[in-house]
Chains A and B, each alone.
Chain A
Amino acid sequence: MEKRVTFSKWTIGILFAVPQLILIFTFFYWPAGQAVYWSLTLQQPWGGGNIWVGLDNFRSILANPDYWRSVSASLVFAGISTGLAMFIALVLAALTDRQLAGSWLYRVVLIWPYGIAAPALALAFRFILAPEAGFLSVVNQMWPGIWDPGLDGTDAMASIIVAFSWKYVGYNFIFFLAAFQAIPRSLIEAAAMDGSGVIRRFWDIQFPLITPTIFFLLVINITESFQDSFGIVDIMTSGGPANATNLMVYKIYSDGFKGLDYSGAAAQSIILMLLIILLTIFQFRFLERRVHYR
């Protein structure tokens, strides 16, 4: 028998919900509403209220090549870091699932990076990847000047990708491992009896059966790469050099708080929000259907 807690009066139920509702309204709907308002108006330089400008802010952003460079940098970042974080996690989880000795240790150790705040790990990677003193300074000794994230846009992009992927490998690993372990052992054994080797079993049995997890992580990783990258970019590159790592989420901040273009920044955040909403809806509506067996 299922037991449910029921409230004699609906008012008590509402009271329990109120704290959560206040939080959501204060920290999501109210700022989001403000952002919409700002994005449709223009602040006067010397005060005196906002002027209604309709979609002008959006038009000027979309006409700006700087914005499109930021979009393409974000897409490159999302694509490579998601791919890297998921691929490494998948390999580690597949190996751990085979119950190699000490696999419990990886499980614990690998979740830690996810618990580290992005700016903190970014600082760590800044030292690690520093061209003059970090681990990679070795390559500069051999080929001077080959690695310098401070000057080379590609190196800078590579640095933030490495830092972000490092954080999400642990997160993805936990989900992949759970997915692998949810596959009944007898399926793997049946495939082994059918003559299938380790690699073949992985592609024919395990991989198809974890596609729901792959899909889920794809959505999460891409979404997070649009948002959680902020701290990493801020500490490691500040969007440079020459805007090479000025991702959409960082450009909102730098245009708004450094350039003091609140209206333009608000419009950019609305675009980013819509992009993430669309991405999520698209992936869940159209892709999820293909990965269901049960």
Chain B
Amino acid sequence: MASITIRGVRKNYGKTQVVHGVDLDFASGEFVVILGPSGCGKSTLLRMIAGLEEISDGTIAIDGTVVNQLEPRERGCAMVFQNYALYPHMSVAQNIGYSLKVAGVPAAERTQRIQAVARTLELEHLLDRKPMALSGGQRQRVAMGRAMIREPKVFLFDEPLSNLDAKLRVQMRSEIRKLHRRLNATSVFVTHDQVEAMTLADRLVVMNGGRVEQVGTPGEIYTRPASRFVATFVGAPAMNMLEGTVELDGLSLLGGSRRLAVPRAGLPVGTKVAMGVRPEAVRLVAPGTSGALDATVDLVEELGAGRVIYVDLDGSPFSVMTSEAIHPEPGSTVWLKFSADDMHFYASETGGRLDVFKASVPEPA
């Protein structure tokens, strides 16, 4: 168990900077997930913690000790790689026990610890096999075993589940969670899959373009996305965003074709904002309901338990998720309503969250 402190960390490859100053604190025993789109610098950040990439600027400390200059083996981290990185010429047992062998642990103790790890991961019958003769899920377990056996202070995972099929991924997800509850080592898990992130994380770090956009519990990130990027990146289907302008009596949306009566709370008239609302917060209401917006149905996507209705709101795409047994025909008109509590506002220019609208009026008129 160990805490991790990241201060002003940057990464340059030659002249290009790919991580632009990251500050993070991970508590001891916490399960942190770093979520972000491909290429945002998640792996780079993780690899800097591991010691596989040099830290161009800033410091990373594990348990209060700055590790910038330490070799990977001196940092007490274990890592599970995306492609597993199993040693192809070694058996499963040798793969799992390699770190102990390097550390000079006597053969008898080594065997015993390999057995113990194999039992936890249900790998006992595979110990003599080579990685080539294993399925994807089994390889994944071996990679986990190789990390576990060292009883590291910190577990690092770089998209370890992305090569598995959907069912196995769900299963491994809960196993990783269970394992963490048992070992209770600080874990940093990198993924681009938001479902994975939401289900695994004690705390979530959302990254974009080499910067941290938001840090919080999955609940906080879902209910109060700190930026326009987080709002649209987290949640499926993505949050609806409508461009608007602040006016004297509220908000004019979609170039003035729709109006919402929300108080402007100090924002100067003419400020450009983006109003977001999650598809699952939108209700379908009877035609002509006051404060409702009418839209034309484009497409209905059946999900089994519910369905996503994609509509056209004066030329802007908009989606609604409902569990009601409603199946509107494409081309028909539906009426949509959502409460002011479910609206999120972001500054058009910076993408930053504006909470000024929230204060009073509960319903758009």
What is the interface of chain A, defined by CB distance below 8 A to chain B?
Answer: 184, 186-187, 189-197, 200, 204-205, 208-209, 293-294
What is the interface of chain B, defined by CB distance below 8 A to chain A?
Answer: 50-52, 71-73, 77-79, 81-83, 85-89, 98-99, 102-103, 130, 132, 146, 150
- CB neighbours (8 Å) of A189 from chain B are 52, 72, 79, 81, 85
Report whether A294 and B85 are in contact in the complex, using a CB–CB cutoff of 8 Å: no
- CB neighbours (8 Å) of B87 from chain A are 187, 190-191, 204-205
* Complex CA–CA separation, A187 to B143 (angstroms): 12
Contact of A193 with B102 at beta-carbon distance under 8 Å, contacts A184-B83, A186-B85, A187-B85 already known = no
- CB neighbours (8 Å) of A184 from chain B are 83, 85
- CB neighbours (8 Å) of A293 from chain B are 88-89, 130, 132
Report whether B89 and A209 are in contact in the complex, using a CB–CB cutoff of 8 Å: yes
Within the complex, the shortest CB–CB distance from B181 to chain A, in Å, comes to 23
Q: Which of B77, B81, B130 contacts A190 (CB 8 A)?
A: B81
Q: Which of B51, B82, B102 contacts A194 (CB 8 A)?
A: B102
Closest to A208 in B: B89
* Complex CA–CA separation, A209 to B89 (angstroms): 7
- CB neighbours (8 Å) of B78 from chain A are 193
- CB neighbours (8 Å) of A294 from chain B are 88, 132
* Complex CA–CA separation, A186 to B47 (angstroms): 11
Report whether B102 and A192 are in contact in the complex, using a CB–CB cutoff of 8 Å: no
- CB neighbours (8 Å) of B89 from chain A are 208-209, 293
- CB neighbours (8 Å) of B51 from chain A are 192
* Complex CA–CA separation, A190 to B87 (angstroms): 9
- CB neighbours (8 Å) of A196 from chain B are 73, 98, 102
Report whether B98 and A191 are in contact in the complex, using a CB–CB cutoff of 8 Å: yes
Report whether A194 and B85 are in contact in the complex, using a CB–CB cutoff of 8 Å: no
Q: Could you give 29 example pairs across A and B, Cβ below 8 Å?
A: A184-B83, A184-B85, A186-B82, A186-B85, A187-B85, A187-B87, A189-B79, A189-B81, A190-B81, A190-B86, A190-B87, A190-B146, A191-B87, A192-B71, A192-B73, A193-B50, A193-B52, A193-B77, A193-B78, A193-B79, A194-B73, A194-B98, A195-B99, A196-B102, A200-B102, A204-B87, A204-B102, A293-B88, A294-B132
- CB neighbours (8 Å) of B86 from chain A are 190
- CB neighbours (8 Å) of B99 from chain A are 193-195
* Complex CA–CA separation, A287 to B274 (angstroms): 69
Closest to B53 in A: A189
Within the complex, the shortest CB–CB distance from A4 to chain B, in Å, comes to 31
* Complex CA–CA separation, A194 to B78 (angstroms): 7
Within the complex, the shortest CB–CB distance from A84 to chain B, in Å, comes to 27
* Complex CA–CA separation, A200 to B99 (angstroms): 11
- CB neighbours (8 Å) of B71 from chain A are 192
Report whether B81 and A186 are in contact in the complex, using a CB–CB cutoff of 8 Å: yes
* Complex CA–CA separation, A293 to B146 (angstroms): 20
- CB neighbours (8 Å) of A204 from chain B are 87, 98, 102
* Complex CA–CA separation, A259 to B85 (angstroms): 62
Closest to A207 in B: B89
Report whether A195 and B85 are in contact in the complex, using a CB–CB cutoff of 8 Å: no
Q: Which of B52, B82, B146 contacts A192 (CB 8 A)?
A: B52
Closest to A195 in B: B73
* Complex CA–CA separation, A208 to B83 (angstroms): 20
- CB neighbours (8 Å) of A192 from chain B are 51-52, 71-73
- CB neighbours (8 Å) of A187 from chain B are 85, 87-88
* Complex CA–CA separation, A294 to B133 (angstroms): 10
Report whether A193 and B73 are in contact in the complex, using a CB–CB cutoff of 8 Å: yes
Within the complex, the shortest CB–CB distance from A205 to chain B, in Å, comes to 6
Closest to A205 in B: B87
Contact of A209 with B85 at beta-carbon distance under 8 Å, contacts A191-B98, A194-B99 already known = no
Within the complex, the shortest CB–CB distance from B251 to chain A, in Å, comes to 50
Q: Looking at A193, A197, A293, A294, which has the most chain B CB atoms within 10 Å of its CB?
A: A193
- CB neighbours (8 Å) of B130 from chain A are 293
* Complex CA–CA separation, A205 to B102 (angstroms): 12
Given contacts A186-B82, A194-B73, 7 further A-B contacts (CB under 8 A): A189-B72, A190-B86, A193-B78, A196-B102, A197-B73, A205-B87, A294-B132
